[in-house]
Amino acid sequence: MMKKQPFEQILKESSPCNLLSGTYHFHIDLYGNFIPQSCPGFSIPLRELVNGADPGKYRIFSSLESAGIRGFVELATKEYGYKPKEEYAGRCDLCYDMRNYLVLELGLDLSDLQPANHYKQV
């Protein structure tokens, strides 16, 4: 239902994703994992977030939080061979497409993209 935006326009408007670190609305699952607002498919053990998410272990989360969608696109294209489409329904659509690619297409088991079954069921 959202109007499609050109991929390049989404990158041009990239800014750090504050949805990931917002503490005004989030969830904790039954296993004690932090799930950011509006971002299903991300999950980091709450006990590891007390001092901040380890950028080496949670590379996708960290790239989005610090550099925005542009940072994640750079990571996904350079290191994992992701090929973007021409249009998306915004930055969240692009982010979800890249995460699906990493988990479903490449079969990666990444620390921050959990639970993997989330991607298989949606």
pLDDT digits (tens, 9 = 90+) for 61-113: 999 999 999 999 999 999 999 999 999 999 999 999 999 999 999 999 999 99
State pTM to two decimals.
0.90
Please name the residue that has the structure tokens 């925005």: 68
What's the number of domains the chain is made of? Answer: 1
Domain span at residue 113 reads 5-121
Question: Which residues touch 81 (CB under 8 Å, ≥6 apart)?
Answer: none
DSSP character string of 41-74: T--EEHHHHTT---TTTSHHHHHHHHH-HHHHHH
